[in-house]
Structure 1
Amino acid sequence: MRILYHLPLSPACRKVRLALQEKRIPFELRAERIWERREEFLVMNPAGTVPVLEEENGLVLADSNAICEYLDEAYPDMPLVGRTHAERAEVRRLVAWFDGKFDREVTRNLYFEKQLKRMLGRGNPDAGALRAGYANIKPHIEYLGWLAETRAWLAGSQISLADLAAAAHLSCLDYIGDVDWSMNDAVKDWYARVKSRPAFRPLLADRVSGLTPPNHYADLDF
């Protein structure tokens, strides 16, 4: 069986999970405590990060973008990186936006500080980082709202890896109660469409020990 090594509230892992689910590729989830630096896992990925996908033939792939690009080439049904050169360029631009800029300015300042930092044994949340995260999320939501208002999906007429990347980050932040959905109706409507897809259901069922999500987290009509 194909195995995805992951952390439940990792946006990168959630993006890969959504891509696998959208493509209807069967896989088994295996939680990896990356802070334990397990020797067998480091052999697969010396970087010690998740996600890591182990194919049935023994092929091991690391890095969420490398995995998703591989999946789109190896399993071309239900393309997620676009069909034309222009579409692929726009999808990749937006994936880089959310996995780079959004992650750096928002996700790391909120999710990392409030959740992952404790797991890694790096002390308490930094108040300055939290303030920056809350301030930074507002312009990102505005831009996301503009995309949602002007396009059927974030990168164009079809759902793509751009939608999955954005939703992966927002779903992790939503789990810890850090998304104010009243900020932008277009973003809320877009996210409701994404989380209503069958591929999203396993993510909504995730629960992390000691951390309960808000009541609306798994509600499709929130």
Structure 2
Amino acid sequence: MNRLYHVPLSPFCRKVRLSLAEKKIEVELVEERYWEGDSEFLRRNPAAKVPILKLDGRLMSESAAICEYLEEKHPTPPLLPASPELRFEVRRLVSWFDDKFHHEVTTKLLYERVNKKVQKTGYPDSANIKSGARAIKYHLDYMTWLLDQRRWLAGDQMTLADFAAAAHLSSLDYISDVDWNRSANVKDWYAKIKSRPAFRSILADQVSGFPQPAHYSNLDF
């Protein structure tokens, strides 16, 4: 049985889930409480991180490496363009969201509001939340600038860059931390993404103690 060990609101897990679903690779989702340091989990990945994908008889970790593996083994439908120049742009934007956006926004909002409560590590830090709320405006404006020039974030076709961005924004949307009225372009882009069949399981996620907001799974917002 192919399995993905994951945490529902982890954007890194969601990026892998979207890639698997888009390529129609079926896996069993196994929720992993990685912060508890279970010995069996640590044997699967000594780095104590999710996602971990069990596929083709292999155990794989690190979301970027997993997505590249999926692209090479299952190239249809493609999530990386053909040309080196366009592939570079996709990889640059994936890094933007998984590094810069993650540290400036996701860790300041999602981790403070959700992770601390779930992991019982304290109370939200209001300074971090204010910092994340400021930073997300900058990132939404940057996405607006990109989408003013392109159909999708990295070019004229949907790519892994769109999935990386949507993975982070969907996690934050679950806790109502995205102002979709800030940019019509970004709102339209997200509506296209979340209407895809690959997004269905993500829209069905339920996190104990954090009920979905009314708009979260509404394809028309």
Instruction: Give the alignment's TM-score, normalised by structure 1.
Output: 0.98
Structure-1 separation of matches of 2:41 and 2:81: 32
**1:82 shift after superposition:** 1.9
Output the TM-score relative to the length of structure 2. Answer: 0.98
Q: What is residue 95 of structure 1 aligned with on the other side?
A: 94
Letter in 2 for 1:32: E
| Residue of structure 1 equivalent to 2:103 | 104
Alpha-carbon distance in 2 for matches of 1:213, 1:177: 9
Deviation at 1:186, TM superposition (A): 0.5
Please name the residue that 2:129 is paired with: 130
- Counterpart secondary structure, 2:42: helix
Q: Distance in 1 between matches of 2:187 and 2:68?
A: 28
User: What are the Cα deviations for residues 123-179 of structure 1, in whole angstroms up to 9, with x where unaligned?
Assistant: 101111000000001010001111122111111111100000000000000000111
Aligned counterpart, 1:22:
22
| Pairwise CA distance, 1:120 | 2.5
Compare 86-95 and 144-153 and name the one that shifted more: 144-153
Taking the TM superposition and a 5 Å limit, the aligned residue runs for 1:160-199 are 160-199=159-198
Matches of 2:157 and 2:22 in 1, distance apart? 13
Give the residue type in structure 1 aligned to 2:4: L
Residue identity over aligned pairs, in percent, reads 55
- Which amino acid in structure 1 is aligned with residue 44 of structure 2? M
Q: 5+ unaligned residues in a row in structure 2: which ranges?
A: none
Alignment of 1:79-94 (within 5 A): 79-94=78-93
CA distance in 2, matches of 1:52, 1:109: 24
Q: Contact 1:35–1:119 (CA<8 Å) still a contact in 2? A: no
Looking at structure 2, the residues matched to 54 and 201 of structure 1 have their Cα atoms a distance apart, in angstroms, of 21
Matched AA of 1:111: L
Measure, in 1, the Cα distance between the counterparts of 2:60 and 2:122.
Answer: 31
Q: 2: CA distance between counterparts of 1:104 and 1:155?
A: 21
Alpha-carbon shift at residue 13 of structure 1 (Å) = 0.2
The DSSP-based 3-state class of the residue aligned with 1:60 is: strand
1:9 to 2:20 alignment: no
1:171-221 CA-partner distances (Å, limit 9, x unpaired)? 000000111111111000000000000000110000101111211100001
Distance 1:56 1:210 in 2: 35
Structure 1 gaps of 5+ residues are none
Q: Measure, in 2, the Cα distance between the counterparts of 1:118 and 1:217.
A: 21
Query: What letter corresponds to residue 184 of structure 1 in structure 2?
Result: S
Q: Which amino acid aligns with 1:97?
A: W
The DSSP-based 3-state class of the residue aligned with 2:40 is helix
Task: Within 5 Å, give how 1:31-46 maps onto structure 2.
Answer: 31-46=31-46
1:104 & 1:41 partners in 2: Cα distance?
25
1:152 is matched with which residue?
Answer: 151
**CA distance in structure 2 between the partners assigned to 1:212 and 1:32 by the alignment:** 20
SS of the equivalent of 1:53 reads: strand
Counterpart of 1:153 in structure 2: which amino acid? W
Equivalenced residue count is: 221
